[in-house]
Structure 1
Amino acid sequence: MEKGRIRHMAVFTLKSQKNSPKTKKFLADGEKILSSIPVVEHFEVFKQVSNKYDFDFGFSMEFENQEAYDTYNAHPDHQTFVEER
């Protein structure tokens, strides 16, 4: 990764079952909403497969720099996604 770029990862376990419709909707909504924020690059949804870790899923994304990350963090779509979930 280039100097100055930021990779942000959010890892989590949902209350719903791993393959439930609620989980699938949460992951799809996260991808749709968060990846549509203009400063987000290389958005990925991932599933943890190792038993060594205490989380089941994650979102990973990159930002050009700190300013881009700060813009994402303050973006209304990001704020609403976090607050409502």
Structure 2
Amino acid sequence: MRLSWPLIGRTGQMRSIGSAIAAPDVAGVVVSGAAGVGKSRIAREALIAAEAQGCQGRWVVGASSARSIPLGAFAAWTRHGASETVQLVR
């Protein structure tokens, strides 16, 4: 049985993310902060909320081992053979 803990005390952050998701001129959201402050939890909740509104979501995590690869965390969604940074971003 999986337990689901409620997200509390993050109303302001979730409201800001929700506004960004609803804005027609915003293409994504970046959650950043110090280690241990709850970034992953806020990001997961925001992704769930965005997908519930019909948005396409991707979970991307950077790792220090891949630091030398430009935009390496996004490689799973690139076309085969894309090597230029601009191609990767598209």
**Greater Rg over alpha carbons, structure:** 2
Short-chain TM bin: 0.3 to 0.5
TM-score, normalised with respect to structure 1: 0.36
TM-score, normalised with respect to structure 2: 0.34
More relative contact order, 1 or 2 (CA 8 Å, 6+ apart): 1
